[in-house]
Structure 1
Amino acid sequence: RNWRNLKVLLPLAVLACANGAFHIEAHLQGTSDISRRLGMAAAIVLISLIGGRIIPSFTRNWLARENPGRLPAPSDRFDTASIAISAIALGAWTFVPDNSISGMLMAVAAICQAWRLSRWAGERTLRDPLVLILHLAYAFVPLGLAFVSASIFFPAAVPAAAGLHALGTGAVGAMTLAVMTRATLGHTGRELKAGRGTSFIFVAVLLAGTLRILAAFVPSGAVIDMAGAAWMAAFAGFLLIHGAALTTPKAR
């Protein structure tokens, strides 16, 4: 009866619809632009919902124990409005990606998400990579929204791919790895602490996202190859470092 989790079903349902629409769109038109943007929009809304719940919570717990002082602001109407504005902006971008109204909405959403992130005291978590990575991964959300907006108003200067890769490789990739790592440690009885190997995979996934954005501005096979290598290092590293925890009995 944890009814507040029902809202999570909405972006998941949209993601499922986008997956189905991908095949239909590709079959009928030979492209999948709308369905791919819809899938990305669903993923970013999901990150906004779940990230807005776990990032302030984990940050507050760590700060209260390790670094007393300013704590993340409690969730309020501003957080709800930020998610709603982002969902509307992403929806507009999905169906009318070149419209100036979509660009304005994305700009407003980027500002709201950046301000939302600043309220979570991420700058005070530098000593704990497990908490810091959540803030750095979420930072790709307002960055991606801002790039999408800029690409609409200044297409000659900002390629559309920059925003897409900031949201995809950056936000989705880094947040997925960050949450996978923390969940693996916590649910297998391991200490919630990032060793050198875990810190390496965090650096690798952040580097992958950054390089993939850079490749949109500087078309270069070498930059794309480096981004791909960093991406593979991050997820292969996760498998090597944490795979055993997922396939062996829970630690006591």
Structure 2
Amino acid sequence: MSATVRRVLGEGFRVFFLAAGLYGLFTGVIWGMWLAAQAGEGPIGEASYAMAAPMWHAHEMIFGYATAALGGFFLTAVPNWTGAPGARTAYITAAAGLWLAGRAAMWFSASLAPWAVAVADLAFVPILAAKIATQLMRRPKPQNMIFLAFLAFIWIANLMAHLEWLGLTADTLDTGLRAGLLSLCGMIAVLGGRITPAFTRNAMKREGEPEETWPVSVPHLEKASLILALALPVPILILGPGAVAGVVALALGVVLFLRLSRWRARWALRQPILIALHLGLGMLGLGLILWGLALLGVGNEIGALHVLGIGAVGGMTLAVMSRAALGHSGRALIAPPPVAVAYGLMAAAALLRWIGAGLDAGYLVVMLAADGSWVVAFALYLVAMWPALTQPRASGAG
């Protein structure tokens, strides 16, 4: 095993943020090829996966790309929260192997038994949850333990998708996909709601800004946001996407914007690595409001879901992965120019996809433009962050 491979497998952020970037790029390219085929600009070959292409695409964005990003984040952040030892190379290697096995099983699902695909795809999240649970128990704070609930929601949502593919249920796939996405959104509301004002406050403090100008947290808004974020996936899992879920989403979206209005986004504009966090949470608030309205009969639900999936999940994971990779590899917390461009492209992709959902003429053109923005964003991320993810720490340790 080469030194680079050992290094990548030795820290969770390296292997999983690298995997997320590569898989985000791969899935974007594959989706773009499918869209081009629908437009008559490319061949339509026989797919290696068993499900319809849009379902493979949706599933892999939620339970493939996003879970890799979660793996890298939690394996890096939880030891810092609790003082627990970081995961060993053997565990990280095994966990990464399970994640990859799930992706391979989904890709080759047309040639595999549905139960084998389900087993392979459902294995990673429990292994991740078990590891971080043992670390969290060293300092079992409720505000950290709730992430185990979000991981459970994500796993149950994925199970619902597989139950339909197994033929055991008739209509749980769409609910599972939505519950998985909204579980990710709830988790982002909690995590992003912590780190965005904290990182902005720290940056303002370093630059000597007076304390009265720092981000302000309002306790009743913080509590409301936490309760609504944790509640967000529950009505979807129990009742399916409907009016109850729509009201919860609307309420959380409004609360998020009220919180964001106090976090000095205008000041953060001078630092791309900061404004990307504000932008990701802004996309989350916008997407939740649009989705809530759509469930209540106003607007396009698919467009709203993509504001959440691309703008909130894609945008916030890109922001957090790049920041964490820089910080934990001993590099300055300054977004490289390609990554700063990637932040903007991700937001553009979300808005283009939302616009495209309401079009008849030009639909595929706008869809391809949105997909192209996603692909270029991840290509830029990989090129710029490759040294931080694969090379020794900037200090020389490593």
* TM score, norm. by length of structure 2: 0.59
- Look up the SS of the partner of 1:3 in the other structure: coil
Q: How far apart in 2 are the matches of 1:141 and 1:67? A: 30
Question: In the alignment, is the contact (CA less than 8 A) between 2:153 and 2:233 conserved in 1?
Answer: no
- Could you tell me how far apart the structure 2 residues matched to 1:74 and 1:3 are? 24
After superposition, the Cα gap between the structure-2 partners of 1:6 and 1:89, relative to the gap in structure 1 and judged at 3 Å, is: closer
Q: What's the counterpart of residue 10 of structure 1? A: 149
Q: Give the distance between the partners of 2:270 and 2:139, measured in 1 at CA.
A: 34
The offset of 1:39, in angstroms, is: 0.4
Counterpart AA for 2:303: A
Distance 2:305 2:230 in 1: 16
Among candidates 221, 224, 227, match of residue 367 of structure 2: 224
How far does residue 175 in structure 1 lie from its aligned partner after superposition?
0.3
Displacement, 1:236?
A: 1.3
Sort the Cα spacing of 1:13 and 1:30 in 2 relative to 1 into closer, same or farther, 3 A: closer
Q: Which amino acid aligns with 1:11?
A: F
Structure 1 residue matching 2:228: 3-state secondary structure: helix
**Correspondence for 2:216:** 73
Task: Supply the distance in 1 between the matched residues of 2:357 and 2:226 (Cα, whole angstroms).
Answer: 27
Query: What does the per-residue CA deviation read over 1:15-62, in whole Å, with 9 as the maximum and x for residues that have no partner?
Result: 122122211133332661111111012101110111111111100011
Structure 2 segments unaligned to the other structure (5+ residues):
1-137
Match of 2:193 in 1: 52
* Amino acid of the structure 2 residue aligned with 1:196: P
| Superposition CA RMSD, Å | 1.8
**Greater C-alpha radius of gyration:** 2
Q: Is 1:175 aligned to residue 316 of structure 2?
A: yes
Question: Which of residues 153, 161, 168 in structure 2 aligns to 1:22?
Answer: 161
The structure with higher relative contact order (CA 8 Å, sep 6+) is 2
Deviation at 1:90?
Answer: 4.2
1:1-252 matched pairs, under 5 angstroms: 1-4=138-141, 5-28=144-167, 29=170, 32-66=173-207, 68-69=209-210, 70-74=213-217, 76-94=219-237, 95-99=239-243, 101-155=244-298, 158-219=299-360, 220-252=363-395
Q: Secondary structure at the match of 1:249?
A: coil
- 1:3 Cα deviation from its structure 2 partner: 2.0
Structure 2 vs 1, CA of residues 16 and 98 (structure 1 numbering), >3 Å: closer, same or farther? closer
List per-residue Cα deviations over 1:65-114 (Å, max 9, x = no partner): 22614111236242121221243344334534233x44333322221111
Identity of aligned pairs, percent?
33
Greater shift, 9-18 or 177-186, is seen at 9-18
Within 1, Cα distance between the matches of 2:240 and 2:172?
Answer: 16
Query: What amino acid is aligned across from residue 193 of structure 1 in structure 2?
Result: I
Please, what TM-score do these two structures have when normalized by structure 1? 0.91
* Shift, 1:223, TM fit: 0.5
Range 67-76 or range 163-172, more displaced: 67-76
What is the deviation of 1:209?
1.2
Q: Report the count of equivalent residues.
A: 249
Q: What is the distance in 1 between the residues matched to 2:206 and 2:348?
A: 30
